[in-house]
Amino acid sequence: MSKTTYAVVDLETTGTNATEDRIIQIGIVLVENGRVVSTYATDVNPEKTISPVIQELTGISNEQVKNAPIFEDIAPTIHSLLAETVFVAHNIHFDFNFLNNEFERVGLPLMKNAGVDTVELSQIFFPTLESYRLSDLSQYFGFVHENPHQADSDALVTADLLLEIEKKIMTIPLHTLEQIVRLSDVLAFESQAFLQHRLERRRLSEGEHLPEHLHENDGLILRNKEVQETLFFNQETYPKTKKQKLRLYGAVNEYRDEQARFMNMVYKHFHENPTEKNLFIEAATGIGKTLGYLLPLAFLATKEEKAVIATPSILLQEQLMQEVLPKMEQFLPNKLHATLVKSARHYIDLVRFKESLLHPKPQKQYRLYQMATLVWLLETQTGDLEELNQTSYTHFFYEDIRHRGIRFLNPLSPLYVDDFLCAVKEKIGKSNLLIVNHAYLVNENVRGEFALPKAKYLIVDEAHHLPNTLLQLSSARCNLQAFMRELKSLFEDKGVLEVVEEEIQEKLSQTILRRVQLLRFSLSNFDRNLEHLSVECKKIAHGNEEIFMNEEQIEQLNIEKEIFLSQLAEIWQIAKEIETELFVNIEQFSSYEQYIMTPIFDFTGKLEEILMLFTRFFSEENTSLVKWLTNFTKTQSITLHLQDFERSMLDFSTWYARFEKVLFTSGTMKIGNNKKFLPTQLGIEQYGFRTIPSPFDYGKQAKLFLPTDLSENGELLNKEQLSQAILKILENTEKSTLVLFSSKEMLTDCYNLLQPELFKLGKEILAQDISGSKEKIMKRFRFTKGAALFGTDSYWDGVDLPGDVLELLIVTKLPFENPLRPFVKSYYDYLSTKGLSPFSSLSLPKAALRLRQGLGRLIRSSSDRGVMFILDDRILTKGYGTRLLAVFPKDMEKNEGKLEDLVEKMREFLL
């Protein structure tokens, strides 16, 4: 690209339709030789009304542009200014095409400029950022961005971004840059030529000298991994007294009586109470619970007697690693050597990624991910794909490069020494503290061999989540249509098995070749039976979305169940034999050959689980075993479900016996004085229970508002009524708000109704499963003042939002589970067989805990203030309402009345 003048352009328009809408502001910044040389900006009279939404977004009013020039008057100047330049924009397709459309409208020639898109280049060269919106990039890089969504300011920031991208390109090793350029032909306009030009300049000015923190291995440039220091541990005395604790950490950490009590309880349980395995501690939100259990571990855990901490989510795992442990290092350096442990699928497999580069796919998004990954490998020391901050990891690029596990690696591969999962395994051996999530811990039950070593100490944080995790992972399901698609991808022409036959035939024994052919034939036959089963299930469903399957209904399925199971067992046996022989001879296959075999290995692992599911679904009768199916009429798909309630108890968990001492802790464990609820759910009979009360003054810090005028005759609110109530509250506050729903359907309905209204108010609305992953939404919510976050189950608790981030909580409906769902109904039936009342023993306590957890989102320190609305008057009109209200602190003020009056009280309280 020979041109060196870059015209960075930003338009503000009356809308996105290039034919009907018009420009209302244009900003142009000219950049030469790495610096801004001139700017041009003007308002434009669009000769039509600017809508309120656009006025709110841009800050540009009809009055402001009334006396501005029309586009036809300034078009020649702009056309001349842009001549012989490289056109640069943040989302170039919009600005370039819109401007060309306007030139054509006023009779000027179309631009034929080369162009560069800073969105795509930012995604490639800054692959770990959470957002590529211009305002977010501006905040990240510290650019001066005084007027977001105004063309002059946006153009200047885009120019700064272009220079930042150029700066980053200059740091990329030549070899990596060459790989990126080869993949970049899919980029918008002439972005590839832009990169090629920089590559040629680099080649002329320098050789390939890698900096000390990087190295090359088998064609990939990788960052060196930090060598973990040898664990330093000495037998210092644990600081039991206040004086000792103040001496240890008083200079860097506030001393709190409740936290100190918690520390001593943990230490006593682990070190001075040899007979009691299980201890439950309900520690009020905000006492500093995490540091409270980490400090005792620093004096107890060794490389030989490790501690494991299990949190409910990956987000909390990362918070612990990145925020809490570094604080401890300030006053207890080198005491805790922690390793964050995740399942293999979270890590990149370098061999598989290398093969994806050697056999590139034409899809643009695939190539963009490849280029971004090449840059990320220069920065990451973990290989954890979560660092890439993608909204979703379901794209087939990530499926291609995900790690399958250490057993799938070839030790003779050059990249074996740099494998990230092997590095985690090595770190585990050198660490005294391992951090996992609940699902990883519970999945130890089904792994072929334990991934975690035997350990002396286990801490289950946010332990009230553990029963649900145990329930989820004692279940199984199979979507019949997805399973059929997977079968077809294996046995059909040009499918995986045929490709394996053709590509590596010479290296396969005759026995394996015959088995591959037999597997193709068997899968083809079985596919017809699977299709027949799907048809039979749809007959049983009769259009229902979910239906409980008892033995009588299973008998009504018109299929030969024994033949079906024997066919499936035979397929699994053949696949297993193929897998075993391939593994025995794995070293004779090239990386590419191993790459194309992977679907066989993946299939064999899934097949064993599916065989077990079908066997139990058709054959096993057990009062604790529940079977149901879901019928998705839109996608014409059937899913079979299996749930064994007995196996959700810790007695059935093989991992539980591998820990000597266990601490279960949470801010919400008991209901009133009932301490048995959580231990009973886990099936634990022998345990200790301690409580650390809240240190907060709820009388001054929080208020509960209960509107009485939202519904008639005690009926639940419909989506319109609920949306109006939420809007009434939100339009009267600038505070960030969490709105909790009991169903995703109602959340989506309210989002669709409220999004335009909140947009007019200048409020950003973030919604579960609409605005990105939970982790991405939470990070965005922290940095967006006055935002509204709509969430369901997982947002009730387990997320740390400081008081200045969240001051208003709206509960749209009492958090009871839907008793008509087959799973819930079946669980209630199971409890009834045990002589328990489902409502009083499970439904009501779980709802009560949820409300307590909701309050815990608001008040997390002595300086927090917050308001909680409950928009469901059943809490006032039903007999059980008093039991739900009893879970709130006695000194917390509870206000009933008209919504309008309560909103005014909220405004006064949150001033």
Binding residues for ATP: 283-290
DSSP 127: T
Helices (H), 764-810: 774-783
**How far, in Å, CA of 398 to CA of 348, rounded?**
8
Provide the 10 A C-beta neighbour count for residue 392: 9
Phi, psi of 394 (to 5 degrees): -90, -10
Q: 423-450 as b/e, with b when 16 or more CB fall inside 10 Å?
A: bbeebeeebbbbbbbbbbbbbbbeeeee
Q: Strands 659-666 and 893-897, how do they pair?
A: unpaired
Tokens of 740: 């909790």
Distances (CA, A) of 431 to 320, 326, 380, 616, 659: 16, 16, 20, 40, 17
Contact 315, 700 (CB under 8 A): no
Q: 867, exposed or middle or buried, with CB in 10 Å at 0-12, 13-18, 19+?
A: buried
For 674, residues 6+ apart whose C-beta sits below 8 A from its C-beta are 845
The letter for the amino acid at 467 is: P
**How far, in Å, CA of 134 to CA of 709, rounded?**
43
Contact 131, 156 (CB under 8 A): no
Closest CA to 343 of 421, 428, 419: 421
* DSSP per residue, 560-575: -HHHHHHHHHHHHHHH
Tokens of 18: 């290039």
Closest CA to 467 of 438, 435, 443: 438
The strand pairing partners of 688, in sequence order, are 279
**How far, in Å, CA of 320 to CA of 32, rounded?**
46
Tokens of 346: 């979270």
- Continuous segment of H or E residues that includes residue 118: helix 118-125
The letter for the amino acid at 177 is: L
Binding site as annotated, residues? 283-290
Q: 779, exposed or middle or buried, with CB in 10 Å at 0-12, 13-18, 19+?
A: middle
**What's CA 722's distance to the chain center, in Å?**
28
For 710, residues 6+ apart whose C-beta sits below 8 A from its C-beta are 717, 721, 725, 871, 873, 899
* Axis-axis angle for helices 191-205, 174-183 (nearest 10): 160
Contact 580, 511 (CB under 8 A): no
